[in-house]
Amino acid sequence: MTTGERPRRVLVADDDTLVLEAYRRVLDGLTASAASDASDFDALSAELFGEETASDPGDALLAGITYCRQGLDAIGKVEEAFAEGQPFAIVFLDMRMPPGIDGLETARRIRRIDPDVNIVIVTGYSDHKPAEITAAVGKPERLFYLLKPFDGDELQQLATALAKRWSADIGMAAELAKRVAELEALNARLKTSEAEAQAAARTDALTGLLNRTGLGEQFRIEADRAHENGRRLAVLYLDLDRFKDVNDSLGHDVGDELIREFARRIRTATGEDGFAARLGGDEFAVISTVPSAAAELGRRLLEACLVPYVIGNQVVQTGVSIGIARADAEQQNLIETMRRADIALYAAKAAGRGVMFEFDSSMERDILGTQRLASDLAKAITNDELMLHYQPLVCSEGLPITGVEALLRWTHPTRGLIPPLAFIDVAEKTDLIHKLGDWVLRRAFADSKRWPDIITAVNLSPVQFKKPGFVDRLVALATASGVDPRMIELEITETVLIADMADAAGKIRQLREAGFRIALDDFGNGYAGLGYLNQIQFDKLKIDRSFIENLRAKSGADEVIRSIVGLAKSFSLSITAEGVEHLEQQLFLQQAGCSHMQGFLFGRPMQADDLVRFRYTTLTAQASG
């Protein structure tokens, strides 16, 4: 028996003195530490039960043998041993032990005391069948039989195997108990942290405000209270203005700190009048539990965001737009109230940002109108109901035409001509811009082959330009149409560059390597034009039309234009002035050094067939003149 094992004790109960002597001759030898054939028994046990043999074959197999003559005496011995924590490994029971209880009843009671003991029924003749014994005693896997008269070797082998098996079972039980204890300890720790886990599941990690889950739970609690008191909750939907520009230009660390500071201001401004949640990104919600004060709460939130944010060495100025909606009195539903607040927020942003709007039904009609317009636009793209017009570009001296700009037009079957800014805005918000952009490119490429000796300019949407794979898509469309990329000029605005300068620079480089010309449109009406020119190679600048219009109405406009022209020349760029409508504008731009012009003075936008005729006429007139 190895160190650390529980002692293997054996109990023998038989009323026959000669039988007890037979037991002693066999079993007492197993308690001797130098039993010569212990290793043989170990090998037999290993063969029978898949055990490893003892590391020291000289160890005693059994710790001790207890003998008794009656069943009640045996039961007492088992009970005493079990109570002391030194249970028997094996009990050998005679079936007939007059005048007391028989072996069956003894076995039944012993099993109730110690379920794990191996019981061996030893008998030459039994009044009970094995099935009856099994039914009465139970645990058939720990119930065995030995016929009298038994052979000494047979008894020795059985005692050895069962003793070894009992040790293995006890060891596994101890290991199992250890594992159970470890699991219970783990479960206790999990229960201890359950409250923290639940709190984390309903809390936004960045700001400490409620998240969507927490918002829903708290809203239901407050809605029940409000219903009892006859009150209606109000939802304020908040969105930071131009947060993406901050994130892209100053980095995500600054963006995260801005979100945290914004959350602190929301929490302070809300106070006891409600509770706040972060829905994700730069979107927040505040539930006003005092509906009559919802508008005042919104004003406090607007004012809280007027103060610039100081983040490290950066000073960030950004406002907030707010939409407010009140829950229905009969059924206060968060999802529906949030939907209305979102519509009000959309209206606030459309109105110029930094304002607060409260929901009314007319806003919903406007949203539905936008959705209908998007649906009609999708059909128009599919049914080829759109049209491109082309406006001539000329050199500073005027005609002939040196290039054209493709301008998109849509005549709605019932609403008539839709302004491009209106339906392009809808296309960008509904992701239709990619289908629309492909349509424009295919049509412009096809039409450009009718005037292959002049440049065709095509405007690109910032949303279209940012899509992954856009460059490959554009090159594939040009290849499929058979157009020469060197005769295609792609016009982009500074909005494309603000979002991700590195990405934009990479795409522009790829497009120029493919042969396309790149023009920076609406120059001077953006954020940091000189910085872009230092980092990205363009082919042309287009002066924003507002500067041309100001030549007659605003002092100093001429100096701005001269500065832009000088800047373009310093970077070896050609320059086009848009919106030229009067002769004096043309003359000034000539004198300022502008190389190309575009406007009603030289030609209005026209369909491809009309452009071909117009160009032929002007060329003929120039040749004859």
Q: What is the pLDDT of residue 611?
A: 93
Three-class secondary structure assignment of 105-131: HHHHHHHHHCCCCEEEEEECCCCCCHH
Q: What is the pLDDT of residue 44?
A: 55
Is residue 472's pLDDT more than 90? yes
Task: Write down the mean pLDDT value for the chain.
Answer: 85
Q: What is the mean pLDDT of residues 386-405?
A: 91
Percent of the chain at pLDDT > 90 equals 32
pLDDT in tens, 219-234: 888 888 887 777 888 8
* Measured distance CA(420)–CA(410) in Å, rounded: 7
**Does 251 or 3 have the greater pLDDT score?**
251
**Does 373 or 447 have the greater pLDDT score?**
447
Q: What is the pLDDT of residue 57?
A: 43
pLDDT in tens, 305-360: 888 888 888 888 888 899 999 888 777 888 888 888 888 888 888 777 788 888 88
- Band (pLDDT 50/70/90 cuts) for residue 183 is confident
**Does 463 or 194 have the greater pLDDT score?**
463
Percent of the chain at pLDDT > 70 equals 89
**43 neighbors 52 (Cβ within 8 angstroms):** no
201-359 has CATH 3.30.70.270 classification: yes
* Measured distance CA(215)–CA(138) in Å, rounded: 58
Is residue 80's pLDDT more than 90? yes
pLDDT in tens, 9-59: 999 999 989 999 999 998 988 885 434 444 555 555 555 555 554 444 446
Q: What is the pLDDT of residue 440?
A: 96
Q: What is the mean pLDDT of residues 481-505?
A: 86
The pTM (predicted TM-score) of the whole model is 0.50
* Measured distance CA(455)–CA(442) in Å, rounded: 16
**412 neighbors 385 (Cβ within 8 angstroms):** no
Q: What is the pLDDT of residue 473?
A: 94
- Band (pLDDT 50/70/90 cuts) for residue 195 is low
Domain boundaries, given as residue ranges, for the chain: 9-177, 201-359, 370-609
Q: What is the mean pLDDT of residues 386-394?
A: 95
Please choose, from the candidates 397, 451, 420, the residue with its C-alpha nearest in 3D space to the C-alpha of residue 611: 451
Q: What is the pLDDT of residue 625?
A: 58
* Measured distance CA(138)–CA(108) in Å, rounded: 8
Is residue 564's pLDDT more than 70? yes
Residue 260, judged by CB atoms within 10 A of its CB (0-12, 13-18, 19+), counts as middle
Chain centroid to CA 158: 63
Which CATH number is 9-177 given? 3.40.50.2300
Is residue 429's pLDDT more than 70? yes
Architecture of the domain defined by 370-609:
Alpha-Beta Barrel (3.20)
3-state secondary structure of 467: coil
Residue with tokens 């094992």: 5
- Amino acid residing at 30: L
Is residue 430's pLDDT more than 60? yes
Q: What is the pLDDT of residue 605?
A: 94
**Does 197 or 123 have the greater pLDDT score?**
123
If you count them, how many residues does the chain have?
625
Residue with tokens 């995260």: 256
pLDDT in tens, 146-165: 888 888 888 988 988 898 88
Q: What is the pLDDT of residue 58?
A: 45
Q: What is the pLDDT of residue 96?
A: 84
* Measured distance CA(551)–CA(40) in Å, rounded: 115
Residue with tokens 């590195």: 502
